[in-house]
Structure 1
Amino acid sequence: MLLAIEQGNTNTLFAVHDGETWIAQWRAATDPSRTADEYAVWLSQLLNMAGLQFGVLDAAIISSVVPQSIFNLRNLARRYLHVEPLVIGENADLGIEVRIHKPSEAGADRLVNAIGAHIVYSGDLIVIDSGTATTLDVVAADGGLEGCAIAPGINLSMEALHTAAAKLPRIAIQRPGHVIGKDTVESMQAGVFWGYIALIEGLVARIKAEWGKPMTVIGTGGVASLFHGATLAIDHFDPDLTIRGLLEIHRRNTAAGT
């Protein structure tokens, strides 16, 4: 069985694949100081609750945008699964071209998303990942990563409003019924939510115009569900994009014998 670890700046996903389907998934807050042993204690309890144990896991793949965490995640696989993990950006062969000026600067999450999208959707793509940052990646019809637009994530923007403005409270993100708010909370929710919809719609329109060919737009990421039904700019919402990409990378590397 495969243990796939997808680590963002805010949350870390641990998922188990039995060769046919994903049988378990868990999330933890991302903490760069968490050691391999601490991960193991937490994960072993969740595995037991699912009727599993470390002994059934015989492969691991790691995607992380937090470099200081990779050491401990790799040690988790080595020490408790007794396997050498595939690590995106290090020893994993992706099988795609990264057509940006400095390929090493492409985040692991962006690379994995490109693969996860390409194996399901045909043609040229825009992959919108809404998390701590909002990224809009252009994936060519052959699977190559062409470039990206990056903006602050919606939660980050809301937190910045609260931090920088003394009278603005910390509030939860939700879709308001109106653009014109009648009180402070409603006005903040309207400005940030509909402002992000406008950001997405505007960037998608400009990317399509610059690309000059038809493109399919896929939304994914921790807060992408907030935008479901709020804009016609996103053609598909796909919450499993990243772990699908991790599974495909593992299969490619296993088939290649690496």
Structure 2
Amino acid sequence: MLLAVDVGNSNISVGVFRFTDARMPVIVCHFKFGTHNYTPDELCATIDGFLRRFDAMQLHAAVVSSVVPQMTAAVCAAAESLCGTKPFVISSGIRTGFGIHVKNPEQLGTDIVSNVAAALTLTAAPLVVLDMGTATTISVVDTEKTILGAIIIPGLQLSLRTLCDTAAQLGEIPLAEKPELIGRDTRTAISSGVLNGNALMIDGFIRNIREALGTKESGTSLSLFATGGSYPAVEPLLRNRFTYSDTLTLFGEAILFAQNNKIF
């Protein structure tokens, strides 16, 4: 079994995978918990506690993706304790199976690399991956299976929290589900601004990306994938339809592990 750990700014996601004879990862269980300044022992105990709930089988290897550098060493140490071997860390220079055409490839987020690896395993390019976490990231891959770059926007919850923390009279505002366009009180007005605003922004970016890639004129299909905890809140408001998976990043990590290591 492979242990996959994705360290994000808000959450640490963990998954356990087995591999088919065709080297395709299949997720056995997954869970997440808040990102804090854990020690290796604390991380090991937390992950082991969750794994015992799922009755996970013996772990043979681990893969780690982290966008929080100060947490990477602790997570790797915990993964090594759990698996008995040093984890494979997603980083620049590994085999990916696709091109990366950005100014500083070594600065490209490992979550973006993992998401694209997952999406390209599931469908053909060109494609877009929408990741709605602490930040909202839209990654673009052209017909040649090359990452052209990304669009990064403050995340939905981050934007809402910043507004509520900054405006003196707001306090905490719970979002309304599927809000009307024109809010009739503070809660519904903010809900419309945050949810409808994000949906309109995403649809607008997808329209402009299609124009930039020339897919509309050529008739080429643009595949759309989504992940991240905030996506379900905006999904009903989107005109574009995305294939959603809350374990897309973990699946991509497992794919990259298989491309760079011998499968046990």
Moved more, 210-219 or 152-161: 210-219
Q: Percent identity?
A: 28
Distance in structure 2 (CA, Å) of the matches to 1:85 and 1:174: 42
Higher relative CO (Cα under 8 Å, sequence separation at least 6) belongs to 2
What amino acid maps onto 1:30 in structure 2?
T
Moved more, 215-224 or 109-118: 215-224
Partner of 1:43: 47
Distance in structure 2 (CA, Å) of the matches to 1:198 and 1:228: 11
Distance in structure 1 (CA, Å) of the matches to 2:182 and 2:140: 33
Structure 2 SS opposite 1:228: helix
Structure 2 unaligned residues grouped into runs of 5+:
21-25
Matches within 5 A, 1:71-86: 71-86=73-88
Distance in structure 2 (CA, Å) of the matches to 1:51 and 1:231: 38
Partner of 1:160: 162
Distance in structure 1 (CA, Å) of the matches to 2:18 and 2:117: 20
Q: CA contact under 8 A between 1:176 and 1:186: conserved in structure 2?
A: no
Partner of 1:200: 202
What amino acid maps onto 1:247 in structure 2?
A
Distance in structure 2 (CA, Å) of the matches to 1:47 and 1:244: 18
Q: CA contact under 8 A between 1:175 and 1:190: conserved in structure 2?
A: no
Distance in structure 2 (CA, Å) of the matches to 1:153 and 1:43: 27
| 1:61 paired residue among 45, 52, 63 | 63
Partner of 1:191: 193
Q: CA contact under 8 A between 1:65 and 1:109: conserved in structure 2?
A: yes
Report the Cα offset of residue 193 of structure 1: 0.5
- CA deviation profile, 1:143-193 (whole Å, cap 9, x unmatched): 321111111100011011111110112123343331111111111111111
Q: CA contact under 8 A between 2:178 and 2:237: conserved in structure 1?
A: no
How many correspondences in the alignment? Answer: 254
Report the Cα offset of residue 26 of structure 1: 1.4
Report the Cα offset of residue 253 of structure 1: 1.2
Distance 1:232 1:187, change over 3 A: same
**Does 2:22 match 1:6?**
no
Structure 1 unaligned residues grouped into runs of 5+:
none
Distance in structure 1 (CA, Å) of the matches to 2:19 and 2:214: 40
Moved more, 14-23 or 124-133: 14-23
Report the Cα offset of residue 140 of structure 1: 2.2
Q: CA contact under 8 A between 2:5 and 2:15: conserved in structure 1?
A: yes
Report the Cα offset of residue 80 of structure 1: 3.3
Distance in structure 1 (CA, Å) of the matches to 2:175 and 2:111: 23
Distance 1:60 1:223, change over 3 A: same
Distance in structure 2 (CA, Å) of the matches to 1:163 and 1:255: 49
Partner of 1:30: 35
**Does 2:100 match 1:93?**
no
- Give the TM-score normalised by the residue count of structure 2: 0.90
Moved more, 36-45 or 206-215: 206-215
